Amino acid sequence: MAKEKGYTAAQLALAWVLAQGDDIVPIPGTKRIKYLDENIDAVGIELSDDELKRLDDILPPGAAAGDRYHARGMETVNR
């Protein structure tokens, strides 16, 4: 979908996150100015309702929910 729209995959991902509501804020990271500029440009990408639905169909909301680390790793979080 990113290629069809002329965006990078990262830009599409950021645009999708930004479309999730005013209480959701993406925190992208980068080591290069080129990618920082691409991230900034993602703010101007507006996805239609059809495009958002298409993305949600690919990865439904909540599909990535769960612990970030395996059980042993979670024992070290917030100690």
Q: What distance in Å separates the CA atoms of residue 57 and residue 75, rounded to the nearest whole number?
A: 34
Q: pTM for the full model?
A: 0.74
Could you read off the pLDDT of 22-79 as tens digits, one per residue?
998 899 989 999 999 999 999 999 999 999 999 988 877 666 667 777 888 888 887 6
Amino acid at 43: V
Using DSSP's 3-state secondary structure scheme, residue 53 falls into: helix
Q: Are 30 and 36 in contact (CB under 8 A)?
A: yes
Q: Which pLDDT value is given to residue 64? A: 66
Give the closest residue to 1 by CA, choosing from 74, 63, 50, 71. 50
